[in-house]
A = this chain, B = another copy of it.
Amino acid sequence: MPLVSRYEITVEWGDCDPAGIVYYPAYFRWFDQATYRLFLAAGLKRDDVSSGQWKEGTPLVGAECAFRRPSQHGEKLSIESRVEKFGRSSFIIRHVFRDGTGAVAAEGTETRIWARKDGDARSLRAIALPDDVKHRLGG
């Protein structure tokens, strides 16, 4: 059974564009924030930087989102997140956004890998998803 986390955001003034609705890259920022909450709910610290330097974490290899209903400034959206598939190094997180009426405002997925970096961006490489991480996320 996958672990499910819930996270609520407010659509801020600066999240919206001149059409008066959410500027769509904001949904992907919320995806990333929601995945962080999913890890916290699992008792994990995603992309630990407490040493001051990032060595290991969860970069993206893909992301997609369907935008169902436009939202505007001041609305609250609740996001439900869970891992829907585990690979050797990769895992897919599904995020579903609902607005105040309960309607789905947006939904999509992030495909992440577990990765390590020893030098610059070019040195980033996939490693096996740790068993403990997989287990805590419900895999």
Interface residue ranges, A against B (CB under 8 Å): 12-14, 16-21, 23-26, 28-29, 32-33, 36, 45-47, 49-54, 57, 59-67, 69-74, 117-124
A123 to chain B, nearest CB (A): 6
Tell me if A's interface is mostly helix, strand, loop or mixed: loop
Q: How far is the CA of A88 from the CA of B72 in the complex (A)?
A: 26
Quick one: which of B17, B62, B124 contacts A14, CB cutoff 8 A?
B17
A45/B57 contact (C-beta < 8 A), A17-B18, A20-B52 known: no
Quick one: which of B13, B20, B25 contacts A53, CB cutoff 8 A?
B20
How many protomers of this protein does the assembly include? Answer: 4
Listed residue (A17, A26, A65, A74) with the most chain B CB atoms within 10 angstroms of its CB: A17
A28 to chain B, nearest CB (A): 4
Quick one: which of B62, B65, B72 contacts A49, CB cutoff 8 A?
B72
A-B contact pairs, 17 of them (CB 8 A): A12-B32, A12-B33, A13-B23, A13-B36, A17-B17, A19-B117, A20-B52, A21-B124, A25-B28, A25-B32, A47-B73, A52-B119, A59-B67, A63-B67, A70-B124, A71-B121, A72-B121
